[in-house]
Amino acid sequence: MEKPPYTIVIAGGGTAGWMTAAALARFLERGYRIRLVESEAIGTVGVGEATIPQLRLYLDALGIDEDHFVRTTHGTFKLGIELENWLGDGHRYMHAFGNVGRDVGLIAFQHYWLRARQMGIAAGLDRYALNELAARAGRMHRGGPITAPAIPSMPYAFHFDASLFAGLLRCFAEERRVERTEGRITEVMRDGDSGDVAAIRLDSGERIAGDLFIDCTGFRAMLIGQTLGIDYEDWTHWLPCDRAIAVATAPLADPPLFTRASARKAGWQWRIPLQHRTGNGLVYCSSAISDDDAADLLMHHLDGAATGDPRLLRFAAGRRREGWHRNVIAIGLSSGFLEPLESTSIHLIQSAISRLLKLLPGHASGAADRAEYNRQTDFEIERIRDFLILHYHANTRPEPLWQACRAMTLPDSLGAKIALFAENGQIVREHEELFTEVGWLQVLIGQGISPKGYHPLADQIGDDDLAEFMETIPLLYEREVAQMPSHADFIARHCAGAMARKG
């Protein structure tokens, strides 16, 4: 006798719900029934329009053509994140994707660069990052090198309209038998014996039962929080911003190849260029500035006139103490929230989906699967948290909020990483933490943390050879960038959206 299908119910749509539904539909073709419940009356947060390169893996896994994705979501390309004013107004640096310089022998490039800087023969770190040179020049390329085989490829990510992305994924999922039900969840019912969630009831009266439930209900966390009682661990003592105001402006004629994050007196402002509009917002601490003053601050620093009314969002940085409890897995905002300073929100959805597929519960799943899922989830979000805290802590701004951030007690994991780098420029990437050594390097140097020394093996190269090494890399990279098309031309050639073509 054939077993009934294993039913997975996704509570909530938006980016988290439809990314999950699309991935499950792609890989669970037999023996599973995938249902998604959402209400058109419930809005989504919709500020996660900037990503990191890992999203390309998700698109590839689902077989979604990249140009079709960019065209459909009115997207642009992204080579890094520009951080402005974190060491005071006018200061800027970039956390660019990809390599910085070239490693030689047993040690990383930064040790040769640190030695060369002490000798006065090193250019700024930005000159050794191909992605940053291309981003500053407004030039985009994908694929192999143009001018020399030794040139590295350029990792890239995207800026895009998150609501259009959800719509694209909805079409993808429904074509693969995902069943969507419109309705508002009014009740979550539990099994009296096991304590698991048995079903959800909608405002229409319909009861939807399942074996596994994915909580994508956003900050409400209706299943994992309200029903199963899993507490939320608040991290606002490390990441003090708890509100955001978002507003759109007209599209930029030549959209930059980077997200901009500009520190302000009580938080920071984002700018995300799309083909059909520019996304802007101010992330701020409500105890340091009023909502009205925050709105005024944002409007004063826009590149153009607002095209709509600002939207206010409230949040608390932190994470759910268990991302998987009983037969409920929280994905998206229901599992935790880290502000979009390093564009990690959509990646956290993606990595949760990957863990779900790798540890997919069967009819005999138990505590070991859940414990491993939660262990991996905790490690990932804690390391991303540390990376964000670094931006807040290592600052030289004069305002009270920033003074308090400089004085905060750091997580032990971050304190150890800073201390290790400050001595001799060492950076150790633990296990599969998200940000690489070169990512940490750019932010540590960019935020003003300068090591006292460097690895002694960097002294094994002669002074003249070191000088030539430091001069050659920027020349090679600049020659490569000069051969690339402009970002606007690249989009026009490959993936211009309908609205952009009309413009």
Q: Are 23 and 58 in contact (CB under 8 A)?
A: yes
78 is in an annotated binding site: yes
Distance CA 482, CA 400 (A): 44
Q: Are 247 and 303 in contact (CB under 8 A)?
A: no
**Residue 72's closest CA among 169, 150, 139, 146?**
169
Whether residue 78 lies in the annotated active site: yes
Distance CA 244, CA 352 (A): 25
Place of tokens 């709509």: 308
| CB neighbourhood size of 363 (10 A) | 7
185 is in an annotated binding site: no
16 is in an annotated binding site: yes
Task: Give helix 109-119 / helix 463-482 axis angle, nearest 10°.
Answer: 110
DSSP sequence for 25-92: HHH--SSEEEEEEE-TTS-------B--TTHHHHHHHHT--HHHHHHHTT-EEE-EEEEESBTBTT-E
229 is in an annotated binding site: no
Catalytic residue among 78, 265, 452, 502: 78
Q: In whole angstroms, how far apart are CA 213 and each of 176, 331, 357, 377, 499?
A: 19, 10, 14, 18, 38
46 is in an annotated binding site: no
Cα atoms found within 13 Å of the Cα of residue 166, Cβ hemisphere only = 23
Between β-strands 278-284 and 243-249, what pairing exists: parallel, antiparallel or unpaired? Answer: antiparallel
98 is in an annotated binding site: no
342 is in an annotated binding site: yes
444 is in an annotated binding site: no
CB burial string 406-417: b at 16+ within 10 A, e below = eeeebbeebeeb
Distance CA 328, CA 25 (A): 19
CB burial string 112-146: b at 16+ within 10 A, e below = bbbbbbeeeebeebbbbbbbbbbbbebbbbeeebe
Place of tokens 């564009």: 343
Binding residues: 13-16, 78, 333, 342, 346
Binding residues for FAD: 13-16, 333
Binding residues for 7-chloro-L-tryptophan: 78
The residues that are catalytic are 78
Binding residues for L-tryptophan: 342, 346
